[in-house]
């Protein structure tokens, strides 16, 4: 399994994520060190809070370049909730704030036909052949979402005022719009599969 590091963005409530990783048999620790983010055997990029504040925290800690490099290389990384949106070019939540740009597209706000934020359980439907993702129900807490599947990624979709990307995987990178650490058995099993992968080799951008 190797060492599991969790990026301390300063805006995420990470206690539940640390607890979930420990239940899966790892001994995670927090980091904001660029070299550790670059070299970690496995890295978790959590996200709860505002897009602008989260990206500014990553920039202050000089984590943009090491995150982009490891994601482009497909190195073992789990991005959660806002963490998935950080992988995009940006978000409607923070006009003019540049994301990591690993996937094309912008996180868009749910329309006025539904309650925002989406709070609760929703059904994931993975594409055929998914290695890590499975059919099941997960817990979401989000106001923004990625609507279009990025090229080269396997995805699972959910529906809330139309289909959106609930999770996506490529190589050993797994990004979840939902919270696996709050998703009961379904989430525990997903975290365990990610930790136990072996590496399949990630495609570069």
Confidence class for position 203, pLDDT limits 50, 70, 90: very low
Q: Domains of the chain: which residue ranges?
A: 4-196
Catalytic residue among 81, 108, 169, 176: 81
81, two tokens: 């909730």
Confidence class for position 48, pLDDT limits 50, 70, 90: confident
Known catalytic membership, residue 205: no
Known catalytic membership, residue 181: yes
- At 193 the pLDDT is 96
Q: What is the mean pLDDT of the chain?
A: 93
- How many Å separate Cα 171 from the centre of its chain? 14
Q: Would you list the DSSP string of 137-185?
A: EEEEEESEE--SPPTT-EEEEEESSSEEEEEEEETTEEEESS-GGGSHH
Per-residue pLDDT of 20-41, as tens digits, reads 999 999 999 999 999 999 999 9
Its sign, for the CA torsion 164, 150, 126, 77, is negative
Per-residue pLDDT of 55-74, as tens digits, reads 999 999 999 999 999 999 99
Contacts of residue 89, defined as CB under 8 A and 6 or more positions apart, other chains included, come to 98, 99, 101, 103, 104, 105, 106
What are the phi and psi torsion angles at 137 (to 5°)? -115, 135
205, two tokens: 């951008």
Per-residue pLDDT of 90-114, as tens digits, reads 999 999 999 999 999 999 999 999 9
Per-residue pLDDT of 143-152, as tens digits, reads 999 999 999 9
Cα dihedral 162→165→167→172 (10° resolution): 160
Q: How many C-beta atoms surround the C-beta of residue 123 within 10 A?
A: 13
DSSP state of 199: -
Mean pLDDT calculated for residue range 154-159: 98
If we measure between CA atoms, which residue out of 150, 159, 179 comes closest to residue 47?
179
Q: Is the pTM of this model over 0.75?
A: yes
Question: Check: CATH 3.30.300.30 for 4-196?
Answer: no
Who has greater pLDDT, 18 or 205?
A: 18
Known catalytic membership, residue 81: yes
If we measure between CA atoms, which residue out of 12, 93, 89 comes closest to residue 46?
12
- At 114 the pLDDT is 97
């Amino acid at each position: 399994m190797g060492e599991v590091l969790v990026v301390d963005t300063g805006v995420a409530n990470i206690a539940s994520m640390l607890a979930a990783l420990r239940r899966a048999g790892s001994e995670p620790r927090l980091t904001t060190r660029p070299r550790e983010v670059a070299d970690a055997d496995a890295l978790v990029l959590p996200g709860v809070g505002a897009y602008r504040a989260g990206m500014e925290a990553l920039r202050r800690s000089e984590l943009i370049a090491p995150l982009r490099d490891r994601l482009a290389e497909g190195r073992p990384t789990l991005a959660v909730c806002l963490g998935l949106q950080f992988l995009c070019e940006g978000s409607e939540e923070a006009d003019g704030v540049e994301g990591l740009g690993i996937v094309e597209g912008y996180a868009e706000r749910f329309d006025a036909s539904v309650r925002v934020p989406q709070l609760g359980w929703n059904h994931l439907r993975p594409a055929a052949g998914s290695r890590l993702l499975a059919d099941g129900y997960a817990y979401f807490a989000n106001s923004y979402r990625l609507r279009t599947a990025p090229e080269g990624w396997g995805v699972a979709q959910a529906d809330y005022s139309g289909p959106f990307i609930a999770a996506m995987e490529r190589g050993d990178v797994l990004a979840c719009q939902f919270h696996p650490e709050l998703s009961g058995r379904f989430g525990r099993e997903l975290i365990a599969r990610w930790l136990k992968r072996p590496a399949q080799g990630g495609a570069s951008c």
